[in-house]
Structure 1
């Protein structure tokens, strides 16, 4: 690991000033991703600005019935918060399935959204990677790509987005609040994650020095009885091969409202909008779920080793929708 300097701040404005004024500085929160990157040499910051003393840990009710989650709230605290368990079951479940207990106790909500991909070529400083070194190529496309994305890819990057809770937040239309030298702004979470296109090194629409301060989750009544299903190679701590966050309201046997998002199969948390469109107003049954799942995955682009993800994602969606329908009937 290359040497770096360290500073600790207790005020949001001071933190922003400290990082914004120096292109080689970066924020340090839980450190569960940042320290890894420093150790393996795929990232380097001349100075780390520790923000753990900032007052950004609260979980607060919003006037519209939604919830504001502080960016420095720990994953474990959010997962077990009564307001989250009671009103946004898919968030709690995604957090509990998203990491080991030790990591959940350290990792922050803001840091989770900013975590880097687990692509082995990105994390190997000697392999070509357009995300790490623009213009060098993507070693995963002709290489070992079993765990890589089939949706939202480009010829420059097929790395899968690793977050679980981001999938649930995308399904719920959460909003990311950020503060920086230019003031405060709100970014819809689906816009917070950028597709790789020709610029895979740009993952978020953040300027240097902008800091996530909170995540606002709007009131979504059907999220009270929602689910998050994660399929992985082993049941212990592992990243998703496929996952789905789902919530559904059924009236007289017809889908009146549905929320569905996918993980493990795309370069960003993937809102299944085509499946939602086909399901809304359709008969709530297995045939409709299968048709919607197939339509959602029709745009998938498989590589040499990950074609299995297409059918697995379809099955994951159907099972998550069946579970969500059952939960909805328990109202």
Structure 2
């Protein structure tokens, strides 16, 4: 690990100013991803800004009848919060599917969706990687790419986003609360992350001197019909090959609203609202679920080792939708 300096800030304004004064600096809270990257020289920030003292560690009602999740609340405290478990069990389920209990006790809500890809080549500084060194090439495209993306890829990058929490927030259509040197703004969660395009080194649409202060969850939490399905190589402590977050609003056996997000298949949590609309006002049945799955994976492309993900994702969508329709009876 390279040497670095550290400063501790007491409020959001000071945090933003500190980053502005140290352009290559990084915020640190739980540090569960950043410190790993620093240890293997993938990231080498000369200065860290400790934000653990900021007043962003609460979960409370928001003005829209939903919940506001503070950016510094830990993943564990979020997953086990009574109101989250009651009103947004999809989010609780997704968080608990990720990492280990020890990591969830440290990782924060603000940092979790900002974690970097788990691409082998991104972590291996001896190999070319456009995300790590723009213009150097993508080793994964013609390399070992079993865990890599099948949707939204580009010739410059086929990495996937690793967060489980982010997939649930995408399905719930959360809002991202952001502060920066130009003031405050709100971003749809679906607009937080970027596809690789020509700039795979940019994971998000955050500006350089901005910080996430929290997330607003909508009043509709799909607390009766939901599921988070995570398919991985091991039962625990493994990233998703494919994950599916589903929230349904049912009227008897008719689907009024369907929200779906996929993880493990793209550079960001993958949404396809047009495909979701295929289920609106349709009866609950496997054939309708298969039609949606086909639409969701339209345009998917494998790169050899990960070709299996296309069919796996389709089957996972159908299975997750079937599970979500049964949740109400099991609640």
TM-score by length of 2: 0.97
Q: What is residue 170 of structure 1 aligned with on the other side?
A: 170
Measured after TM superposition, the shift of residue 283 of structure 1 is 2.1
Measured after TM superposition, the shift of residue 250 of structure 1 is 2.4
Q: What is residue 92 of structure 2 aligned with on the other side?
A: 92
For these two proteins, the number of residue pairs brought into alignment is: 331
- SS of the residue corresponding to residue 289 of structure 1 reads helix
Matched, 1:20 2:8: no
Q: What is residue 58 of structure 2 aligned with on the other side?
A: 58
- SS of the residue corresponding to residue 222 of structure 1 reads coil
Shift in alpha-carbon separation, 1:224–1:255, aligned structure 2, 3 A: closer
What are the within-5 Å matches in structure 2 for residues 286-325 of structure 1? 286-325=286-325
CA contact (8 A) 1:24 1:46 kept: yes
Q: What is residue 69 of structure 1 aligned with on the other side?
A: 69
Measured after TM superposition, the shift of residue 103 of structure 1 is 0.2
Q: Which is further off, 218-227 or 163-172?
A: 218-227
Distance across 2 between alignment mates of 1:5 and 1:126: 26
Distance across 2 between alignment mates of 1:277 and 1:302: 26
Shift in alpha-carbon separation, 1:10–1:177, aligned structure 2, 3 A: same
CA-based RMSD: 1.3
Q: Deviations over 1:160-189 (max 9, x none)?
A: 110001001001111111111111111111
Structure 1 stretches (4+) deviating beyond 3 angstroms? Answer: 328-331
TM-score by length of 1: 0.97
Q: Which runs of 5+ in 2 are unaligned?
A: none
Measured after TM superposition, the shift of residue 24 of structure 1 is 2.1
Q: Which runs of 5+ in 1 are unaligned?
A: none
Q: Which is further off, 254-263 or 134-143?
A: 254-263
Q: Deviations over 1:129-156 (max 9, x none)?
A: 1111111110000000000010111111
Q: What is residue 140 of structure 2 aligned with on the other side?
A: 140
Distance across 1 between alignment mates of 2:71 and 2:52: 10
CA contact (8 A) 2:19 2:26 kept: yes
CA contact (8 A) 2:97 2:236 kept: no
Distance across 2 between alignment mates of 1:150 and 1:139: 16
Distance across 2 between alignment mates of 1:70 and 1:28: 15
Q: What is residue 39 of structure 1 aligned with on the other side?
A: 39
Q: What is residue 228 of structure 2 aligned with on the other side?
A: 228
Q: What is residue 214 of structure 2 aligned with on the other side?
A: 214
